[in-house]
A = this chain, B = another copy of it.
Amino acid sequence: MSFVDTLLGKPLATSEEHTERIGVAAGVPIFGLDALTSAAYGPEAAMTLLIPLGLAGLQYIVPIVTAVLILLGIVFFSYLQTIAAYPNGGGSYTVANENLGTGPALLAAAALMIDYILTAAVGISAGVNALTSAVPSLQPDTVLLCLVILAILSIVNLRGVREAGAAFIVPTFMFVGTLVAVIGFGVYHTIAAHGHPVPVVAPPPALPATVKYLGIWLLLKSFSNGCAAMTGVEAVSNGVNAFAEPRAKKAQTSLAIIIGMLVVLLFGTTYLARAYGITAMEPDAYHYQTMVSILTTAVFGRGWFYYVTMGSILVALSISANTAFAGFPRLARAIAANEYLPHVFLLRGRRLLFSHGIYALTGFTAVIIFLFDGVTDKLIPLYAIGAFIAFTLSQAGMVVHWRKQEGGYKKHWWHMFVNGFGALATGITTLVVLVTKFTSGAWVTALLIPVLILIMLGVKKHYSRVRREMKDMTPLNLVNLEPPIVVIPMARWDRVTEKALRFGLLLSKEIKAVHIHSDDEGDEDLEGLWGDKVLGPIRKEGLDEPELVTIASNFRFVLSPLMDYILKLEDDNPGRKVAVILPEMVVRHWWEYALHGQRVQLLKLMLLLKGNQRIVLVNIPWYL
């Protein structure tokens, strides 16, 4: 296992759990990358819709981003409370489940699972797309590059949450650090120049205005586009129990730092865009640049710092998928704990992580990357809906939560108002996103959510049935402990058959050795051998005689006559168990299996499928 140890790290004992708890320094990159990197594209997403206004659009951008920041603030305070209220992990699913009931909880679960998978796919493909626009010769390998990054993220995360934090801490702070430097330097210049800084390199001129005023619909769309910056906020409250004690405190601090940084980045870039007169470019324009690229050029010019900044953004984007790796397994565990997902999601792997969640996320993300050829633009319309459904349900759940608290409405009216307002705002945003993006791909998400909910209900139903049928609180029943009838399929008399017969004699006095005789075979005198080799010694010892049953098979089939015999035997002896002894050859090399019929395997399968509670299989291995 030393290769696995090298790749994934040595197994951790359950008692070592505290060593895997993380602090704030690791919590920010692990849970914050997705949120933070959205500063690189969120404002631009909002500004793209303002292009028709020309330079005049810049008047709208600060208010719009401020509105997003207010919403972000509301959501932030809401989640601070959620973390305090649910110190074992309070994602939307948990909050909805405890306060709104099963239906809303499953809706939140389905929405969040889809969103985490899309977060991983979007993050990775955004990073790769940024790389391939810089180096177009890599374009044909987009899917391969995406899968390589996915594999790396998956392995780093399987090594444990601490190691993932350590690996991502440098890129995260590089990303934040360079952008903060741009903002700081830009703001300094702006103030020094009394609000009218001179760009080092002039930004491309704004397109001529085609409209004069912004309608309410476009305003809402711009706002909801800007809300893309909020998708990562859920992750911290979902992963509270990854933190060291005092965990709620550490989680809240991490969330505060993430949101704080995000506010600085979002507001800073927007403010400077207006100060420098930077508008968004049409994404398919010749020499297209992102807004951040134009801004950095305007503030610092195209020196080495520009390339460091762009490089940090590229790296941070491609690893922003990591938030999904931190969130999805914990979410799956929470759902599986209520038996709506398979139990494997509850198991913790060698490094104390919910490794099956990581496997599932990796698998689904790979499928998504394949289906969409690793192109971010194709994925974006499916995205964000899930996050906003979850926000809405979580905050609506918190409203109910407050009402149920001691003191109720009277004591908590402010909390309820804040959460209720947040739920309303995110609810409206959800609708806007769904409507504006529906035909371009959001319908896929809208369709997948009920499918996922149905699957989860099916899983729950299955587990409930199993639990009901397996539960046994009655004492061990010792009545009717009758030895089984033993059936030994026998091709010829050899040492394997002898071994099976010896075991059969231990089990029962009633043994049927069944030989299927096909006309094709050479006629070995099995009857004679049976008399000599078996009945002889048995009689000498005075034991009960096993019976040799010979069945002719006209059609050269072996298994079906055997099955028929076993089922008939079981039918003729109601209440008796039938033990089928199957000698099985174990070879040393895999290829040797090709040299032996797989009849034993097939018979096992048929017995399991066609058999019933009274048929037991006994496997006698024979090692060559």
Contacts and interface: CB of A to CB of B under 8 A. Distances in A.
Contacts of A622: 470, 613
B618 A344 contact: no
Nearest to A503: B616
Interface in A7-30: 11-15
A466 interface: yes
A216 interface: no
B493 A477 contact: no
Contact of A615 (B350, B497, B621): B621
Contacts of A534: 475-476
B475 A537 contact: yes
Contacts of A347: 556
Contact of A465 (B459, B475, B624): B624
Contacts of A211: none
A501 B519 contact: no
A597 interface: yes
A611 B586 CA distance: 10
Contact of A462 (B348, B475, B592, B623): B592
Interface string A580-624: 000011100000101111000000100111011101111111111
Interface stretch (A165-173, A367-375, A413-421, A478-486): A478-486
A577 interface: yes
A616 B612 contact: no
A469 interface: yes
A541 B476 CA distance: 11
Given A555-B11, A586-B608, A619-B619, A477 B498 contact: yes
Contacts of A497: 472
A502 interface: yes
A505 interface: yes
Contacts of A349: 556
A518 interface: yes
A590 to B, nearest CB: 11
* Main SS class of interface, A: mixed
Interface residues of A, number: 86
A543 interface: yes
A507 interface: yes
Contacts of A537: 475-478
A475 B617 contact: no
A520 B620 contact: no
A494 interface: yes
A204 to B, nearest CB: 46
Nearest to A533: B475
Contacts of A624: 465-466, 469
Interface in A434-490: 459, 462-463, 465-466, 469-478, 481-484
Contacts of A612: 621, 623
Contact of A494 (B472, B506, B618): B472
A84 to B, nearest CB: 25
A515 interface: no
A495 interface: yes
Contacts of A618: 579, 616-619
The 5 closest A-B pairs by CB, nearest first: A617-B619, A472-B495, A14-B519, A13-B554, A470-B494
30 contacts: A11-B557, A13-B554, A13-B555, A14-B518, A14-B556, A15-B519, A343-B595, A343-B597, A350-B555, A459-B595, A470-B494, A470-B495, A470-B622, A471-B494, A472-B495, A472-B497, A474-B533, A475-B536, A476-B498, A476-B533, A477-B502, A478-B543, A503-B577, A506-B507, A507-B507, A586-B609, A607-B621, A612-B621, A616-B618, A617-B621
